[in-house]
Amino acid sequence: MRPMFHVRPGLLGANDHHDLTLDEAVNPKHMELLMHLLLQKEMFSLGIKVGDYSSNIIIAVKLGLKSPYLLHQLLAFSARHLAFLHPDRSASYLHQAVTLQTRAVSLFNAAWTDFDQSNCVEVLLFSSILGHHLLTDTLAKRDEGGLVPFIAHYIQCVEVHRGIYTIARTVWPLLMDSELGPILSLTAEFTSRLPKGSHCQQIRELVDSSDGLGEKAKTACQIAIDYLQVGFDAVMADEETHGVRHQMIFSWTLLVPPELTDLFAAKQPEVLVLLAYYAVLLHYGRNMWQVGDSGAYILGIIVDYLGSEWDHWLKYPQEMVASGLENPT
């Protein structure tokens, strides 16, 4: 399977009419991005943490020298983080992020042959960082039109993340024998947990009783709900070890069954209520730079779209967000 990635530059939030100079040579601006990448540990705060950040990022950069698509994506994400840190210069940094990411995707698609021991780590790192980048951009979108444009962006994000999951499953034995083995073992342990809490009980009842969802759709929704509950369990347990407390913010978009994509696109009300629960999970992580106030924003546009008819089912997410929650990190 060939994981071709097609990313619209406009998803980054920069001006779609920028002239993207794809063959621009590396310059001092790129050196700034490289230094930022090497020194800023909080850039990848949504990821599981194993070992020393500096050592791990140096490994990634070395792999990027062998596979330029990875290096370009690393620099693109560095530019995206700098755009957040420096609002007065955000337009310039976002332009760099667009240019570098577009080039990264182009290089990846041109270089693709097949998965093997020689490239599986670089391919997964590239795909994962691209996924983090797109999720960050999607959560930052505030387009006019509310839910409709947001869902369009979110679906593209989900589709890219599904490609990451496909890549990982395809070469799992090779990856487990690589430098990524410890991280992937922790990720697998986390995402294979059974849900324990009752935060999602009401959305389970809604899905089970729905006349608008077929059995296959209900099963897909229940799987997505299970993962959400695992995310809530981690938040409630305050699991800072290895950074898994907010890991489900990233992993949920990767793990939701493919059937949910069409339900998102159709704006199926029950699935929008499900997305409102994901918004609560986002709100718990609102102090992370990738997340910010996106949880409250997404919940708000869902409430506006569905109207008062769905107030009962949205009451719990609204109460959770309105309460401010406790101990955001």
Hey, what amino acid is at 266? A
Q: How does pLDDT run across 31-73, given as a tens digit for each residue?
A: 999 999 999 888 887 666 656 677 788 889 999 999 999 999 9
Q: How does pLDDT run across 281-319, given as a tens digit for each residue?
A: 999 999 999 999 999 999 999 999 999 999 999 999 999
Could you tell me the residue ranges of all domains in the chain? 9-160, 193-322
Report the Cα 297 to chain-centroid distance in Å: 17
Higher pLDDT, 114 or 245: 245
**Closest by alpha carbon to 258, among 170, 158, 191?**
158
Termini Cα distance of the chain: 38
Rounded Cα–Cα distance for residues 275 and 266 (Å): 13
pTM for this one?
0.88
Rounded Cα–Cα distance for residues 234 and 248 (Å): 9
At residue 10, does pLDDT exceed 70? no
Q: Six-digit token pair at 76? A: 């693109």
**Closest by alpha carbon to 264, among 134, 189, 158?**
158
Q: What is the pLDDT of residue 250?
A: 92
| 251-268 mean pLDDT | 95
Q: What is the pLDDT of residue 245?
A: 87
Report percent pLDDT > 70 for the chain. Answer: 86
